[in-house]
Copies of this chain bind each other. A is one copy, B any other.
Amino acid sequence: MTVRIGIIGAGNMGADHASTLQRFVSGASVTLLADVDGARAAGVAAELGCRSTDDAEALVRDADVDAVLIASHDATHPAFIRACVAAGKPVLCEKPLAPTLDGSAALVADLGADAALVSLGFMRRFDPGYTALRAAIAARTMGAPVLLHSTGRGVSSAPGSTSASSITNSAVHDLDIVPWLLGSPVVEVSWHAPRSATGDTTFQDPQLVLLRTADGVLSTVETFLNARYGYDVRCEVVGESGTASLAEPVRLVQDGALQRASGYAADWRPRFAEAYRLELQAWVDALTRGTASPLASAHDGLVASAVADAVITSMHRGGTTVPVEVPGTAR
Contacts and interface: CB of A to CB of B under 8 A. Distances in A.
A321 B196 CA distance: 19
B220 A241 contact: no
Contact of A246 (B144, B224, B252, B281): B252
A192 interface: yes
B251 A232 contact: no
The bracket for how many chain A residues form the interface is 35 or more
Interface in A259-297: 259-266, 281, 285
Contacts of A232: 255
B251 A128 contact: yes
A240 interface: yes
A241 B196 CA distance: 13
Interface stretch (A23-31, A51-59, A116-124, A304-312): A23-31
Interface stretch (A8-16, A92-100, A135-143, A171-179): A135-143
Q: How many chain copies?
A: 4
Given A254-B242, A254-B243, A264-B255, A192 B208 contact: no
A208 B149 CA distance: 11
Interface stretch (A33-41, A64-72, A210-218): A210-218
A4 to B, nearest CB: 13
Contact of A224 (B136, B147, B224, B254): B147
A253 B258 contact: no
A199 to B, nearest CB: 11
Interface string A201-226: 00000101010100111101010101
Instruction: Say what secondary structure dominates the interface of chain A.
Output: mixed
Nearest to A274: B274
A230 interface: yes
A280 to B, nearest CB: 11
Given A195-B216, A218-B192, A142 B251 contact: no
A166 to B, nearest CB: 14
A63 B157 CA distance: 55
Contacts of A262: 247, 259-261
Interface of A: 2, 22-26, 28, 128-129, 132-133, 136, 141-144, 146-147, 149, 153, 192-197, 206, 208, 210, 212, 215-218, 220, 222, 224, 226-230, 232, 238, 240-266, 281, 285, 319, 321
15 contacts: A24-B24, A26-B28, A133-B251, A142-B255, A192-B218, A194-B218, A206-B238, A208-B218, A208-B220, A229-B241, A232-B255, A242-B254, A242-B256, A244-B253, A246-B252
